[in-house]
Every structure is written in C-alpha cells, then in structure tokens.
Chains A and B, each alone.
Chain A
Amino acid sequence: MTTIDLPPEIETVFREFRTCEFSTLARDGTPVTWPTAARFQPEPAQFLITTSIGQAQKVFHIRRSPRVALLYSDPTASGLMSPPHVLVQGDAVAPDEIVTSVDAPEDYRVYLRDNIFRRQPASEAMSSNAVMRKLFDWYYMRLLILVTPRAILWWPAGDFAQAAHRLEVNHVG
C-alpha cells in the first residue's frame, strides 16, 4: 500500500482543481493529453479517473502502456490564487469492467457526486428527459482508471522557469 506525506498546498490543488491534463501514450508513443476530472485518494495514494466506453481511447492506451501523467495547471473555479502547478507521473490500470451502478464502488460514487455532479451542475441536462437519456446513455457506461503515483513534481505559483520540487513515491507491499 502506498501513502504519501504531501505538502498541504499540493493536496489542496488535488482537491480543488476542477480538471487536470491527463496524458496517456498512443500506440506510436505519442503522448495524448485531454482535460479530465480526477479524484485523489490519500490512502492508498491513488488517483481515480473515469471515462465512458464511448470515449475509451485513453483506456486502450493504458492497456498497452500504463505510463501516464496528470498535470494540474488550470486553477479556474478552484478559488485558489497563484497555486502551484503539479505534475504526477504514475502507472495506471483500467480494468475491463463497465460500471453503470452509481452506488458501488464507493470511491466512484463519491467521485461522481462531488467531482462531477456538484461541480458541473449543467451536466444534469444529459439525464433530464427521455430524449436526452436516449442520446446520452453511453455517458453513464463508465470504465474506471486508477493511477498509482511514482513521482510528484511541483512549481510554486506555476513558474515553470524554476526547477521543480520533486517527491518520489515509495511503494510498500
């Protein structure tokens, strides 16, 4: 199990940023980066990301190469002033199990409630009536991605010109 002794300002970034820039590696090795919502779970230290089976490309990438990165560099709506920018490098797994229940697993329920529904109220439109439910049912067929960090780097105030602070993550067990 991995736990990390994170500086509080880094954990605040993980908690308050609405999105991170999530990179996976395509078949030809090109990094492909899209914005996504991630939830940091301190114990064990992991990031939960989900995607629909209608947008599963990042999952296909992970099943070929688990090496991924999450950059937290857009503080819009976080309420934070000049927060550090944080890069997490790690290894991801993406089981081939489609999740439609919103009750389990519990981490997914909390992710959906707090990171998506509460922060993105307009997304309610996607389930607001029968037509929208027909059009968007694929959105609720989800695949879970778990990222175990191996290194966390950060730049105070997002100043990439300065050398990054770096925390290596030691895995136990």
Chain B
Amino acid sequence: MWDKLTKSLAMFSSAVVTGTDAEGYPFSVRLTPRIDLARQVLHVELPNHVPIQPGAAGLLCHSHDEGLWNLKSFIVRGRLEHEANGWMFHPRQFIPGAGFGGLPGFMRWIMSCRRAARQYLEKRGLPRPAIPWKAIEALRAESKRSISP
C-alpha cells in the first residue's frame, strides 16, 4: 500500500485532504503533502485556522485535461493526527480510481459498475430500465450548439 501511495502521489503536484470539523461536516483543503519514508506517514501543513479535528480522514489526487477527459484519480483512507511536529496523515487503504491499471483496470472498472448496477436493481426488485438512446443523442447534438448560461 505504501509503495503504491508514494508512486501515485509523485504524479501529482498537490492533493486534497479532507477531515471533519467540530460539527461533523467534511472540511477539505488542497495542499502538498511531504512523504516521511521512515515513518510511512505524510506531513500535511494545515494552517491553524483550518478547523479539521484529529481523526478519520481522506486524501484525494485527481486530474483531467481541457476536455474533461484523461481522468486520473486515487484516494487514500486514513487518519489525521496532530503530533508534536505538526499534522500527520496516517494512510490505511489505497483505492485506485480512474486511469489506474491500464486497459485491464478499465475493463475491471466497467464490469464492477455493471455488477453494482445489477445489484442495485435486484435489491429493489426493479427490471433493468431501457435507456432512451435517441433522446441522449439529440441532447448531445443540442450540447454542441448551445452556449452555457
């Protein structure tokens, strides 16, 4: 997990770190973590005014291009702790997102989404709905003509 995390983190210039505030709402900031190889933790410089509480936390790195494509992302679940030398993110689980694992990874992702969709429907006793492909194509054509308001 640690090797995957450090290699993947090196592909991005910054990360989004999310903890929770005193009222239990998620609170996110973008920063550049520093890797502590010896302790296998990430130093994160949270400014004093950021109200994140120590505890369960997550880290996200992601990117896309100008056409919102070539998506790449991963998340890490872990904990944030305020220690003597600052805030530390203790990683627990690495979860790859888009753009990891090449073509086999992409195919696994499609199959897992298909399986999850089937289970969602089965659990509710619903038939697989028909998709209105003609209407989708018409809306796509409209999107090429329209200007965002």
Contact = CB atoms under 8 A, between A and B. Distances in A.
Given A31-B57, A55-B113, A109-B139, A120 B67 contact: yes
A85 B133 contact: no
Contacts of A137: 128, 131
B2 interface: no
A67 B24 contact: yes
Given A69-B26, A87-B27, A114-B146, A76 B117 contact: no
B62 A87 contact: no
Interface in B106-148: 110, 112-117, 120-121, 124, 126, 128-133, 135-137, 139-140, 142-144, 146, 148
Interface string A61-101: 00000011101011011000000010101000000101011
B120 A31 contact: no
B11 interface: no
B125 to A, nearest CB: 12
24 contacts: A21-B16, A21-B18, A28-B56, A29-B55, A31-B56, A33-B16, A37-B68, A54-B112, A54-B113, A54-B116, A69-B18, A73-B16, A73-B30, A76-B66, A89-B27, A100-B130, A102-B139, A114-B148, A117-B140, A120-B67, A120-B68, A127-B140, A158-B30, A160-B31
Interface of B: 16, 18-21, 24-31, 47, 49-50, 55-58, 60, 62-69, 71, 73, 75, 77, 97, 110, 112-117, 120-121, 124, 126, 128-133, 135-137, 139-140, 142-144, 146, 148-149
Leading 6 A-B pairs by shortest Cβ distance: A54-B113, A138-B117, A23-B26, A117-B143, A69-B26, A54-B117
